[in-house]
Amino acid sequence: MEGTPKQPKNCSSLLEQLVAEAREAPLGGQVADYIPALAEVAAEHVGIAVVELDGTTHTAGDFDVCFSIQSISKIFGLALAMERAGDSLWERVRMEPSGQAFNSVVQLEWEHGIPRNPFINAGAIVVSDVLTSRYSASKSALIQYIRYLAGTESVHTNHEVWESEKEHGNRNAALAYLMKSFGNIEADVPAVLDHYFFQCSVEMNCLQLAQSLGFLANKGIQPGTEERICDARSAHRINALLSTSGMYDQSGEFAFTVGLPAKSGVGGGIVAVVPDYGVIAAWSPPLNRFGNPTRAVQMVTEFAQRLGLSVYH
């Protein structure tokens, strides 16, 4: 039986050990190669950061090297769209695991253009439509929001990745036009896709990611500034969606073995929320067959298991 999160005496040395073990382990897959800018990232990178609610920070490895956050950005987009759209958002995107690939088209056709959840691409494109329709400058609003949460102006979008995403974005375009045909996209599709690709191309490091998402571990209040980012119900809902749909088609296994709300991205990053404790962010570019970063997932798993952090205790 697992209890409330234990305060480890030697958290930093545990992280050092996890990074050392990860560096020894097999790469565990291939670096994403659907665009050149991601394929060029060195597979050997390994980093991890843990930020606790009281501001205590532990880091190891390449925790300060920026990488493409890709699907992790779907959390930021969703939090902002929930604030702008309120409950009407849930008429346009559901809250169920998809059981399909993150960029699957078939399910969307069967289900009349209503995506299963906001963490598959179709759902994130609906979220991007909400932001595009409700902000005169949605990309700027999103990056300012992320900078505010991360507490640094240095967060930026990689323009090479952004351009590449657009160039290789035919499947996402198919999802968007299909949803438009069902009346579930309001703005012009190219503008919505531009926002979505911009969002995917944001770069951050592990420390910035762990810092920025503290509000999800703290009932909507950002630790440090004590600003309310969202209401407690929204934080609860985002965590619930992360638990059921944040780890692609491995979300069930991740809940089973780790038991934390989490989101990964094809850039090799993963963030895991530990309610009332803090946030873990890890990075290692090679991806397993589900699109999750093998060694980064392993580090988060070890950390959570050794400290007894599962929410399902």
Q: In this chain, which of 59, 98, 104, 121 binds ligand GLU, going by CB under 6 A? A: 121
Cβ at position 300, least distance to ligand GLU in Å: 17
Please, which residues have CB within 8 angstroms of residue 217's CB and are 6 or more apart in sequence? Answer: 53, 223, 273, 274, 275, 276, 277, 278, 279
Q: Which residues contact 130 (CB under 8 A, 6 or more apart)?
A: 81, 84, 85, 89, 92
36 binds ligand GLU (CB under 6 A): no
Which residues, in sequence order, are bridge partners of residue 226? Answer: none
**71 binds ligand GLU, rule: CB under 6 A:** yes
One-letter amino acid at 177 equals Y
196 is catalytic: yes
- To the nearest 10°, the Cα dihedral for 257, 32, 205, 118? -60
Q: What is the DSSP string of 277-300?
A: TEEEEEE---B-TTS-BHHHHHHH
- Closest listed residue to residue 291, CA positions, set 10, 65, 71, 3: 71
Is 136 a residue of the active site?
no
Per the residue annotation, which of 50, 248, 264, 274 is the catalytic one? 248
Any catalytic annotation for residue 266? yes
What part of residues 124-183 is at the interface with ligand GLU (CB under 6 A)?
165, 172
Q: Is 177 a catalytic residue?
A: no
Q: Which of 266, 271, 279, 297 is catalytic?
A: 266
Torsion sign across C-alpha atoms 94, 100, 105, 111: negative
Nearest to 273 by CA among 298, 227, 236: 236
Distance CA 149, CA 133 (A): 23
Nearer to ligand GLU, 14 or 187 (CB): 187
User: Is 70 an interacting residue with respect to ligand GLU (CB under 6 A)?
Assistant: yes
Closer residue to ligand GLU in complex, CB, 38/304: 38
By beta-carbon proximity to ligand GLU, the closer residue of 277 and 290 is 290
Closest approach, Cβ 68 to ligand GLU, in A, equals 8
DSSP-assigned beta bridge partners for residue 293: 287
Site size for ligand GLU (CB under 6 A): 10
74 included as an active-site residue? yes
199 near ligand GLU (CB under 6 A):
no
Euclidean distance between CA atoms 134 and 142, whole angstroms: 12
Question: Does residue 265 belong to the site contacting ligand GLU (CB under 6 A)?
Answer: yes
Residues 74-103 interacting with ligand GLU (rule: CB under 6 A): 102-103
Q: Does 200 bind ligand GLU (CB under 6 A)?
A: yes
Q: Which of 68, 71, 164, 245 is catalytic?
A: 71
Interface residues toward ligand GLU, by CB under 6 A:
70-71, 102-103, 121, 165, 172, 200, 265-266
Residues designated catalytic: 71, 74, 196, 248, 266
